[in-house]
């Protein structure tokens, strides 16, 4: 139960930061910096308890990598989506009346952008937070947070820069993305997470 609480809380603050900085908030470099920083501190805060996934694609990758059970995957997903829903509700309350425009990304570029940076995110997580060669390091949270920040800078204007199905649910509830776009994030992000796990296993055949 403690792991699920940590996953809910961490996902809540990540999704809350996304909404609060994008809706009538900062512009330019502020949202990517804030979002990457929020993920970083939540990973440092809860990584020792739950692994600090806060992302169904990360949980999928960790499972395929061999460090989680199917039962735990489902429980984590429910906690992560629950945190995203609560965060979206909090943002909608605090930002009531603010103008919100739903993004309309081009399907092909959005699929590729989400796949590439979700792959990068999960690949980094697996290498800095689960690999034997980096066990006990002090930089894992920074590496993970900066990967999301980099992705937001690089392709945020193409796909919205979710790299996370829970974030995708949250921004859909907040009106930042149309519900008709949700499948783009679910498909690309989960595929990116799965691909990262397969590449990790191929590159680290002795790390099980």
Q: Are 32 and 152 in contact (CB under 8 A)?
A: yes
**In a structure prediction context, what are the per-residue pLDDT tens digits for the chain, which is 208 residues long?**
899 999 999 999 999 999 999 987 766 778 999 999 999 999 999 999 999 999 999 999 999 999 889 999 999 999 999 999 999 999 999 998 888 888 889 999 999 999 999 999 999 999 999 999 899 999 999 999 999 999 999 999 999 999 999 999 999 999 999 999 999 999 999 999 999 999 999 999 887 7
Q: Are 57 and 190 in contact (CB under 8 A)?
A: yes
Question: Rounded to whole angstroms, how far apart are CA atoms 40 and 131?
Answer: 18
User: Rg for the chain (alpha carbons), in Å?
Assistant: 16
Instruction: Please tell us whether the domain made up of 2-203 is placed in CATH 3.30.70.1170.
Output: no
**What token pair was written down for 119?**
């792959």
Q: Where are the domains of the chain?
A: 2-203
CA distance readout (Å), 127 to 21, 58, 122:
29, 12, 9
Compute how many other C-beta atoms are within 10 angstroms of the C-beta atom of residue 99. 8
Q: Are 130 and 67 in contact (CB under 8 A)?
A: yes
């Amino acid at each position: 139960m403690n792991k699920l609480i940590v996953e809910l809380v961490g996902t809540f603050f990540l999704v809350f930061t996304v909404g609060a900085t994008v809706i009538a908030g900062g512009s330019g470099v502020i949202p990517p910096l804030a979002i990457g920083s929020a993920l970083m501190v939540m990973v440092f805060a809860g990584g020792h308890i739950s692994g600090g996934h806060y992302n169904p694609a990360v949980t999928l990758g960790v499972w395929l990598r061999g460090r989680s059970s199917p039962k735990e995957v489902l429980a984590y997903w429910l906690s992560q989506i629950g945190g995203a829903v609560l965060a979206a509700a909090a943002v909608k309350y605090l930002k009531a009346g603010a103008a919100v425009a739903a993004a309309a990304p081009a399907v092909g570029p959005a699929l590729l952008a989400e796949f590439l940076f979700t792959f990068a995110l999960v690949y980094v997580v697996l290498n800095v937070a689960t690999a034997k060669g980096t066990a006990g390091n002090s930089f894992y949270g920074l590496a993970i947070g900066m990967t999301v920040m980099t992705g937001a800078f690089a392709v945020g204007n193409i796909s919205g820069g979710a790299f996370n199905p829970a974030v995708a649910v949250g921004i859909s509830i907040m009106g930042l993305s149309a519900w008709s776009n949700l499948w783009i994030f679910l498909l690309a992000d989960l595929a990116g997470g799965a691909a990262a796990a397969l590449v990790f296993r191929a590159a680290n055949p002795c790390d099980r």
